[in-house]
Amino acid sequence: MIVGLTGRMASGKGTVAHYLVELGFQFFSLSDEIRLELRTKNMPESRENLTLTGNELRAAWGPAVLADRVIAKLEAGRPVVIDSIRNPAEVLALRAHHADFRLWYIDAHPQIRFERLKSRGRVGDVQTAQQFQEQEERELHNADPTTQQLLATEQLADRRITNNADEMTLKKAVVMALNDDFGAETFEQRNPS
């Protein structure tokens, strides 16, 4: 089984991925594939460089290149979570590779996401509400198939998980989604600390 995660900035994708790892999932991130590329070019890791380099890779090797790189690393028989899916071609490649692939769209109210973004202190994150809105617009709407197309990717999601509450509520929603998508007896909720 493969769970793919998509969603907007600071929606909680990383928190969901971390919890799935606690439940025994192997973790991959399409953004990590871009980070590898940045390191080979000695470029600093920033959201802008990640976006530009990801778009360059898609333009050079096709819109599914990041998904294809991760697919080549998958181990048979292990549940997998893949974070940072931002292009419809990535979804299609993963669905073609694995019949048990499910794309989850992690969502949260924009104000909550902006507050999370400010508090996490990640290098390259926007600092003002205006920058937040501008960045989101760039990631959502793009006609070029080799760039991030978050809105079109979200529309391919098999499930939407809303993350407007606390982490315990999110974890319960993740367990419910796992049970609904992969079988009622597959996962039991562990006591999160």
Question: Can you give the pLDDT of all 193 residues of the chain as single tens digits?
Answer: 999 999 999 999 999 999 999 999 999 999 999 999 999 999 999 888 999 999 999 999 999 999 999 999 998 888 999 999 999 999 999 999 999 999 999 999 999 999 999 998 777 788 899 999 998 988 888 889 999 999 999 999 999 999 999 999 999 999 999 999 998 555 665 544 4
HSE-CB for 13 with a 13 A CA cutoff: 25
Pair of tokens at residue 151:
């809105």
Does residue 90 contact residue 67 with C-beta atoms inside 8 Å? yes
Residue matched to tokens 């594939």: 33
pLDDT at 186 (0 to 100)? 59
Rounded to whole angstroms, how far apart are CA atoms 41 and 36? 9
Whether residue 147 is contained in a domain is answered as yes
**How many structural domains does the chain have?**
1
Whether residue 172 is contained in a domain is answered as yes
CATH number of the domain residue 113 falls in: 3.40.50.300
Sequence-distant (6+) residues with CB within 8 A of 19 are 170, 171, 174, 192
Rounded to whole angstroms, how far apart are CA atoms 12 and 69? 24
Whether residue 12 is contained in a domain is answered as yes
Whether residue 189 is contained in a domain is answered as no
Rounded to whole angstroms, how far apart are CA atoms 184 and 182? 7
Whether residue 100 is contained in a domain is answered as yes
Whether residue 187 is contained in a domain is answered as no
Domain span at residue 85 reads 2-182
Phi, psi of 164 (to 5 degrees): -100, 0
Beta strands in 9-165, from DSSP E residues, in sequence order: 26-29, 80-83, 101-107, 159-162
Whether residue 192 is contained in a domain is answered as no
pLDDT at 39 (0 to 100)? 97
Whether residue 80 is contained in a domain is answered as yes
pLDDT at 184 (0 to 100)? 57
